[in-house]
Amino acid sequence: MNFLSKRLFIASLFLGSFVGSVHAQTSVSKSNFHQWAATPPLGWNSWDCFGPTVVESEVKANADYMSKYLKPYGWNYIIVDIRWYVANDKAHGYNEKDPQYAIDEYGRFTPAENRFPSAAGGKGFKPLADYIHSKGLKFGIHIMRGIPVEAVKRNLPIKGSKATAKDVYSEKDQCRWLHDMYTVVAGMEGAQEYYNSLFELYASWGLDFVKVDDLSSPIYHQGEVEMIRKAIDRTGRKILLSTSPGETPIDHADHVQQNANMWRTVGDFWDSWQQLKEHFAVFKRWNSYRMEGAWPDGDMLPLGHIGIRAERGNDRMSAFSKDEQYTLMTLWSIFRSPLMFGGHLPDNDPFTLSLLTNKDVLDVLKYSRNNKELFNNNDLVAWVADDPKTGDKYLALFNAQDQQEMVADKAVWSSGLINRETPGGSKMVDVDITGAKKLYLAVSDAGDNIDWDHADWITPTLYKGSDSLALTSLKWTKATAGWGRARMNKGVSGSDLVVNDQKYESGIGTHSNSVIEFDIPEGYTRFKAMAGLDKAGAVQNAGATLQFMVFTQNPSGPMPADSAQIAVQLKELGFNSACTVKDLWTGKKIGVFSNEFAPYIRRHGAGLYRISPQRKN
């Protein structure tokens, strides 16, 4: 080979290498991000147990547990939730009085080093991500939509642009419940570059998942969704996108499906049966929008040890009964929602661990197809799905029947609808209770759902002529609340009683649906109070909707039976001959059935079954 030939050969090698490199980069950047989550993601999120206060050692402890006990079953995401960039945040709310932000020279939040010591020296989350990756797991974080208010105040530059923070922001549509960020205005010079710089940073840390809050409810911020999608794709790193909170407006379902891997279908979900029951209607509504790599998300699983330092609620094991926990896991699996566990994993008991490591149940979540509700007959519910490998059917049965808590016709006073558009956010109560022995203060969800339905009975008072008696000086006989627990002289979340921005010292804080029962001392003939929407609910997303009622007799309807038989005709599942039924939770074969399968299901409980045509040897 002569000198010229050698040079041409070397040049061709270089050019081939260069073209190959360009092609590789192009194929990465144009890869279909839906392939990154071929099955619903399974992971742990710090929110339910640590709120905005989680620290590095706690994240590592949960990663260690997941790697040891859950990774063989497909659990692999570890997510640090909200406000990891604030050094002095608190439980039971957010510190918005004097937050100490960690922020870099380009207006991007960085981990608070007192909470995440490995981030010192500008390392960010990379050391923690490396630790989690070393366990064979993936790492993610929560962020708020927009650009930090702090960056705008300092007018910090935007990396990769001549623009500064002041050039891309708007105060319009700022988050109502947390004021760390301003909106980034799509189309402004520097707007896309800001999100590009953000995700460049996250990719350099080694992130695999980002949950973006205040992005989809009550306003769906389409412009910012698209900028985030572009910024992720530009990095060339497989970073799953989860949008929050919910319910995502369903008229944007097609758009979010095409731009995200997960999107919330509800607001914050806690260990409340009423919230769990709402998911039957929610999942039916969202069922047609599921596709591989794009998953409607029923929110985190409030199971195990939660509320340790939560934004709301107290330190506790999940308030769900075992039956309700089976219902939750069965419904999420047959619907194929992502599973993000909310409890502190190292504190799991054997029962909680068993819910997360049932291979047969997780196979329904991962691999079933044609999932749909078969029927809902008076809260006796059936869902069905296919096993594409065998032609078998999966059948989920639920007994969601309840005692009617409040028969409205029995009420002696009703507020009608109260929401944040109601003048003063409240109604005055003044009702004759002459001759009554009992007083029941009830709050319903006004017919929608119980999201953020924080309710206050302000200065509730009994009257006997000119004499008065503060109801808060008495002990109630019993009290229920749809979330948390009713409290004297405090909001249900433990905060002050605040209605229409006015603080009150005396009252009862609760959460729909709620019934609080008192024995009335003899001779009292009148009850007065103010029924109001607590500020904690008024500022959230679309805000709460409530109806207050007063009863002097038990407001409830009849109690359903402890269990009910749910009958499914096998021909409805496509079987015309005898079938074998296996209980997937116990792993046991129940028997052979010819025409009908009709097990008894406990109230608030569930069953999950594999239905197989009987095969001859």
What pLDDT is recorded for position 31?
56
What pLDDT is recorded for position 105?
98
Measured distance CA(312)–CA(91) in Å, rounded: 7
Q: What is the average per-residue pLDDT within 49-55?
A: 97
Position 404 confidence tier, pLDDT thresholds 50, 70, 90: confident
Q: What is the average per-residue pLDDT within 107-124?
A: 98
Answer yes or no: are the C-beta atoms of 239 and 275 closer than 8 Å. Answer: no
Measured distance CA(279)–CA(290) in Å, rounded: 15
Q: In angstroms, what CA-CA distances link 153 with 83, 85, 182, 185?
A: 19, 17, 11, 17
Number of Cβ within a 10 Å radius of residue 274? 20
Residue 62 pLDDT greater than 50, yes or no:
yes
Q: What is the average per-residue pLDDT within 360-372?
A: 98
Position 616 confidence tier, pLDDT thresholds 50, 70, 90: low
Q: What is the average per-residue pLDDT within 353-360?
A: 98
Question: pTM of the entire structure?
Answer: 0.87
> What DSSP assignment string belongs to 404-446?
-S--GGG-SEEEEEEETTSGGGEEEEEEE-TT-SEEEEEEE-T
Measured distance CA(59)–CA(47) in Å, rounded: 11
Measured distance CA(27)–CA(452) in Å, rounded: 44
Residue 449 pLDDT greater than 90, yes or no:
no
Classify 601 as helix, strand or coil: strand
Query: Model confidence over 7-51: pLDDT tens digits?
Result: 444 344 344 443 343 333 333 344 599 999 999 999 999 999 999
What pLDDT is recorded for position 266?
94
Q: What is the average per-residue pLDDT within 387-398?
A: 97
What pLDDT is recorded for position 544?
83
The alpha carbon of 257 is separated from its chain's Cα centroid by a whole number of angstroms, namely 18
Measured distance CA(40)–CA(14) in Å, rounded: 42
The alpha carbon of 256 is separated from its chain's Cα centroid by a whole number of angstroms, namely 17
Phi, psi angle pair for 459, to nearest 5°? 40, 55
What pLDDT is recorded for position 11?
44
Q: What is the average per-residue pLDDT within 383-388?
A: 98
Residue 170 pLDDT greater than 90, yes or no:
yes
Strands 579-583 and 589-593 turn out to be antiparallel
Residue 542 pLDDT greater than 80, yes or no:
no
Q: What is the average per-residue pLDDT within 436-443?
A: 96
Mean of per-residue pLDDT scores for the chain: 92
What pLDDT is recorded for position 15?
41
Residue 1 pLDDT greater than 70, yes or no:
no
